[in-house]
Amino acid sequence: MKAKSGRDKALGDKLLDGLIDPDPFPAWLPAADLDYFVGEFQRSGFRGPLNRYRTSDIDFAEQAEIADRRIEQPAAFIAASSIPS
């Protein structure tokens, strides 16, 4: 089955309709982690994560007054360029 893109979705399709269910899951997503995430979404739903994006315009407007401020607290940002296989 070919995975659907957002443009291929029909009115009434569910979020995961048409997506490929990987079997097996990739090594970087252990079953225990997946079980945890599933449990959290079953408990609280997807509203919180979506609301974060729904408020982005408000956040941008409210943060305009501090846009040029520097972070005075010592801080570090660490990132990786890829996930090891």
**Sorting pLDDT into bands at 50, 70 and 90, what band is 2?**
low
Question: Using CA of residue 80, residue 33, residue 25, residue 42, what is the dihedral sign?
Answer: negative
What's at 34, amino acid-wise? L
d(CA 31, CA 22): 13
Q: What residue ranges do the domains of the chain occupy?
A: 26-65
Residue-wise pLDDT for 10-36, tens only, equals 889 988 888 888 888 888 899 999 999
What's at 76, amino acid-wise? A
Q: pTM to 2 decimals?
A: 0.44
